[in-house]
Amino acid sequence: MKSWSTAVPVLAMVGLLISLFTGPSGAVAVIAALLLAGAVLAAVHHAEVIAHRVGEPFGSLVLAVAVTVIEVALIVSVMLSSGPKGAYLARDTVFAAVMITCNGIVGVSLWLTAHRRRMAHFQPGGTGGMLAIVASLVTLTMVLPSFTTTAAGPRFATIQLVFAALIACFLYGLHVFTQTVRHRDYFLPVTKEGEVLEDDEHAAPPTNAATFYSLGLLMVALVAVVGLAKVESPVIERGVEQLGMPHAVVGVVIALLVLLPETLAALRAAGRGRPQTSLNLALGSANASIGLTIPVISIASFIVPGDLVLGLGPTQLVLLTLTMVVSILTIVPGKATVLQGGVHLAIFASFLFLTAVP
């Protein structure tokens, strides 16, 4: 119990047991929500410890799988309690993750770096490749369902859903292989002269004992996250309904919670003048959110009762198109000012506003 990463998973499990017996009401619901957020942070922390030990490219996969388990647990928990509205939850959550990463995290990171150093420098080759995968993933899995004709409505037919899931896995695997093995130097920070900087923050890998210790706590944290997500899902939905907001806001809340660790890490990197690291985290999180969550949710849709709608609506399609166009214009030069950061933040603010007031 000497550190928060040890105490929080244990406390989260205790909170889960208490909430199962007392029900998620009043102070119990508030405490459970705080423990849920803490368990998410602790799970990602322990996944990072394991990732550091096993090295790349397996380390990235460990972290991505842990985050995907958390996201899927939250989505499925809310889907089970939402009735017909739950059919749109996976779409709303993944789309919110794309907006948060490509506009929110990217915008804040570029703004902070450019404000402190007048210009944010990064590698357009590696960053552009990640953006290409984001654009391909979101188009093939969430735009096409609104235009296909085999199944009625903005949804895939079963065979189309299987194909989209396989393509998503392939593209995410290609992203991991390129970033961690084949062209790792394309994703390293650069100076304003374009000189590549090797990562100077190497730390000694944890011991076997520390790795297994983190593995155990990771399992505890993930169990707590899944359980607390089930407990809190009705509370989140009631809160959104009482505020008179659309059900899509629930997806935004889930995405914000899941992406909290990556957001904090990206902001720390931007504060150190490492915009490339921030962009890696932002676009890498977007790729993982689509490339891993969509296949898992596709499998879950065959088990969980209810429909699965992935096709984006008209407003979402406009925001996505604007995001991709602006992102290309931001990345191609390999440098950005506060202007580019401000444009991304304006798009992100518009997304939040139009989600609450469609």
The Cα 93–Cα 115 span in angstroms is: 31
Token pair belonging to 327: 């992102």
Domain 4-356 falls under CATH 3.20.20.10: no
How many other β-carbons are positioned within 10 Å of the β-carbon of residue 318?
13
The Cα 35–Cα 10 span in angstroms is: 10
pLDDT of residue 256: 87
Contact yes or no for 109/344 (Cβ under 8 A): no
Most confident of 241-250, 262-271, 286-295, 344-353: 344-353
What letter would DSSP give residue 118?
S
Contact yes or no for 141/164 (Cβ under 8 A): yes
Q: Is the dihedral of CA 13, 16, 18, 20 positive or negative?
A: negative
Token pair belonging to 186: 């394309």
The Cα 143–Cα 154 span in angstroms is: 9
Decide: helix, strand or coil at residue 274.
coil
pLDDT of residue 340: 95
Most confident of 48-52, 267-271, 295-299: 295-299
How many other β-carbons are positioned within 10 Å of the β-carbon of residue 314?
8
Residue 57, preceding peptide bond in cis (omega within 30° of 0): yes
Could you tell me which residues come within 8 angstroms of residue 128 by beta carbon, excluding any fewer than 6 positions away? 328, 331, 332
The model's pLDDT over 150-198, given as tens digits with 9 standing for 90+, comes to 988 898 999 999 999 999 999 988 888 887 777 777 777 766 655 566 5
Q: Which of 17-26, 136-145, 213-222, 235-244 has the lowest mean pLDDT?
A: 17-26
Token pair belonging to 336: 């950005």
> Percent of the chain having pLDDT more than 90?
31
